[in-house]
Structure 1
Amino acid sequence: MTSKSRLIPPDPGPFGSLLRRRRTERGLSQLELSHLCRISTRHLSFLEAGRARPSREMILHLADGLLLSFAAQNELLHAGGFAPAYPVSPLDSAVLAPFLEALRETMRRHSPNPALICDRRWRLLEANASARYLFGQLQSGGEETNLIRLLTDTQKAADHVANLPDVLAELSARIRLELLGAGGDEELEDLARRLESALKRHPRPAASLRSPLTPLILNTPSGRLSLVSLIAHFGTGEDVTIRDLRLELFFPADEATREAFLAFSSEDPGQPTV
């Protein structure tokens, strides 16, 4: 009985299991992560196996080496039995007010070109008049505000987005990259699966040479519009919600699109869409 019990490995516990999962998601060996974090491979092995208990500082050190998001760092701390390091403020909190106002001011200045604010799970939070006009056609009067779902769940997307396969492929690559830092975000993983499924229905044609930028080409009552976009987020602010906010600014990719946006009303650009 004693000899058998020695063969049973210790339970790694929630922290050890989660740490191993995050490491393997990054494609790192124990040796590689230990070198990145400048700790011994033996100690890392003990942490993953549940044979050593991590300190709060060690957890944050490992999270930094894994390039985890604030939300994923909080999850790792919780698994280790510690309180979160980063707050998660409601969108209507006073803490977020100056950050949201900065985004809204940027949207106002960007009109008549489209601009929108979304979170890291691609939920549309606010949009200016031009963006509401464009994406309202995808909603078709419904209440769905998740941009990925709008592009993958309805036939309307295939009718509205002229280069849907290219857009889906670009989004799929972007979400796979975001998942590395998200640390097992189930909703983001679901969106990644939806994109993969949509790409099977709308495969991207093989091409020997692609444009350095993937435009968004839309069929609208105003004609075919071609756009390129720039995504910005806050690199400061130790709050999960602040770091999750994304501002996407769309720019005309041709003169016809530029003229079409000049015809749009630019009034009331910052009203919430949800």
Structure 2
Amino acid sequence: MSITSEIPARQNALWLAFRRNRLSWVGLALLLVIVCAAVFAPLLAPYDPLEQHIINRLQPPSADFWLGTDTYGRDVLSRLIYGARVSLVVGFVAILIAMVIGSAIGILSGFIGGIFDRVVMSFLDVMLSFPTLLLGLMIAAMLGASFENLVIAIAITEIAPFARVARAPTIALKQRDFIEAGRAMGFSTPRLMGLHIFPNMVSEVVVMGSMWMASAIRTEAALSFIGLGVPPPTPTWGSMIREGFENILDSWWLAVFPSLAILMTVLALNILGDALRDAIDPKTRAE
């Protein structure tokens, strides 16, 4: 079956997976709400996220400030909406970079094989031996706190899993008849890997990307919590939780609402990841 003929089949499988799993619609709707809030933040935020109302500092949720104010009198709702931008952009960009680099490494390692494959996989095993947060912490600490360094740190932590996912099907696909036919016709190695192997595994990589984006958002929040994320005063969910942690007994809303935002985003991404996995898994479709 050609790649072009597989596209409608995958679309039908995705639609059937969403129909069988009604919870996936909840995840999709929840993620759309969060994305729309981030995109239209200037229109939806009632206040400037950096504007201080010192006279109204540490105010509980009210008609004027729906989610209360922080220690500087800044509106928590406005900062929460703008914080979604940072979390989503960091998560998406970091996972996209990790997906491209990791997939390229996995395909190249699996296709070449031999000593090169063993060396690359040994190096990736070393990276996988470190917990994601610990590895991200070390990289972020060495690079320093900034938006670009945060993206780089998270992307590096996610390269090894993507390489592992891309390598396994590459080893199986390079023995297939259409690859042997391509070799016989004189196709170059980059063409075989890019045009004939990668399209046959892209669905698995995308599904993993949707799931690991949730992990990237959690890592971003954790690094921001300990001060290695985007520098203040830019609002991020992790830094908002850190600010609220100091006043958790008296001003519970400072930490609770950003925590709920992270929870809902991660939950939505995991639900969608499960639906995408069901759509591409032949065993699940058969059931």
The TM-score, its normalising length taken from structure 2, stands at: 0.23
Higher relative contact order (CA 8 A, sep 6+): 2
The TM-score, its normalising length taken from structure 1, stands at: 0.23
Compare the two structures and name the one with the higher helix fraction.
2
Compare the two structures and name the one with the higher strand fraction.
1
